[in-house]
Amino acid sequence: MTRASALALILLLAVPVGLTACSEGHDKASVAAAPEAIGDILTVQTGEIDDVKRVAATLTTRDMGEAVARIGGVLVTLNVREGDTVTKGQVIGVVRDQRLNFEASAYEAVAIQAEADYNRTKGLYDKGIYAKARLEQAEAQYKSAKAQRSAAYELAGQGTVRAPASGKVIKAEIPAGSVVMPGQSIATVTAGPRIVRLTLPEQQARSLVLGQTVSLEANGIAATGTVSQVYPAIDNGQVVADITPQGLDDLLLGERVVTSLSLGQRQGIKVPATYVTTRYGLDYVRLVTADRKVSEVPVQTAPLDGQSVEILSGLKDGDTLAPYGAAQ
């Protein structure tokens, strides 16, 4: 055998050994790519979950008092601004109508004249000059003039605008010097405690229960509240409900509040949030196979209560999950 033939034979015998070594290394790498599940294994099951709805509401007060003008005229003075605190009956403005003052002065003159006529007639009646019928006629005219005078002064005095309730002025938009009409609102005053008022479709409102706990969120502030009243009337298919909040005292009246309230239960898959992770806008879970190997699968989720999420798609009953954060 020549030296070249011997070298070729050695190379041919060495090739299978190298290929076998490479194949074994690849198999070991494949096994290492599928880690085993470690931690609390969760079996997915469909069950009842709270049907939580997020509904926009408004922070307001239980009652609003309107300070209105009882007569027409010029608003000569306005003593309050938005944010001022007033007490019930406090004078907050004056409306003046000169015609009413002129009428009151005219009725005053008529009443004075009628009183003088009555006194003169009574004196002559006492002397036997006038008959009793003449005295009764003068007395009736005097009483009528006094009544007209009192009514005129009462009407002129209705220009004083008073606070309808104790509270805080939240609206006073009419400046002094403006002409106002009878019944026009001069200022709006809060009355009663703060509430969160919401409207719901009548089908959903049937699930509301007095005393039910509701989660609230407004302007970055999280709070809770309880359903304190559900109004019995339905307006255009909507039902109004009031929630008594705890922790929203620093907010301004009229701010929007997002309420999260349970409207019953429905069937769905609920898992703890620790079993779900989010990367690049996609949610993933660690699915455990029968041989306890773990693989990540994408799922579609919806938030529930901050500690759990609902699986909308990607899993079925009987699937097992491993939590994130456990040793791998």
Domain boundaries, the chain: 98-158
pTM assigned to the model: 0.54
Strands (E), 110-184: 160-162, 167-171, 179-180
Angstrom distance (rounded) from CA 310 to CA 299 = 10
Angstrom distance (rounded) from CA 173 to CA 67 = 12
Chain CA centroid to CA 198, Å: 6
Angstrom distance (rounded) from CA 243 to CA 224 = 9
Within 8 A by CB and 6+ apart from 323, the residues are 39, 40, 42, 272, 274, 275, 286
> What integer pLDDT is reported at residue 300 of this predicted model?
93
Distance (Å) of CA 108 to CA 100, 104, 116, 194? 12, 6, 13, 49
- pLDDT (tens, 9 = 90+) of the chain, 328 residues, equals 454 454 444 444 444 444 333 334 333 333 344 566 566 788 999 988 877 788 899 998 887 888 998 888 889 899 998 888 889 989 999 988 878 777 878 888 888 988 898 898 888 888 888 888 888 888 898 888 888 888 888 777 788 899 988 888 888 888 888 889 988 999 988 877 889 999 888 887 777 888 888 889 888 888 889 999 888 888 888 889 999 998 887 788 888 999 988 877 788 899 998 999 999 999 999 999 888 888 899 999 988 777 888 899 999 999 999 888 654 4
Cα atoms in the 13 Å half-sphere on the side-chain side of 168: 10
Q: Identify the H or E element spanning 302.
A: strand 294-303
Angstrom distance (rounded) from CA 67 to CA 177 = 17
> What integer pLDDT is reported at residue 19 of this predicted model?
36
Token pair 């909507």 in the structure block, residue: 238
CB 298, CB 309: distance < 8 Å:
no
Long-range contacts of 308-312 (CB under 8 A, 24+ apart): 308/270, 308/271, 308/272, 308/273, 309/270, 309/271, 309/272, 309/273, 309/276, 310/49, 310/268, 310/269, 310/270, 311/44, 311/268, 311/269, 311/270, 311/271, 311/285
Q: What type of residue is 311?
A: I
CB 44, CB 288: distance < 8 Å:
no
> What integer pLDDT is reported at residue 97 of this predicted model?
83
Residue 32: helix, strand or coil by DSSP? helix
Task: Please state the φ and ψ torsions of residue 143, each to the nearest 5 degrees.
Answer: -65, -40
Task: Please state the φ and ψ torsions of residue 137, each to the nearest 5 degrees.
Answer: -65, -45
Residues paired with residue 214 on neighbouring β-strands, in sequence order = 225
Tokens of 61: 């007060």
Which of these CATH numbers, 1.20.50, 1.10.150, 1.10.287, 1.10.10, describes 98-158? 1.10.287
Angstrom distance (rounded) from CA 271 to CA 314 = 13
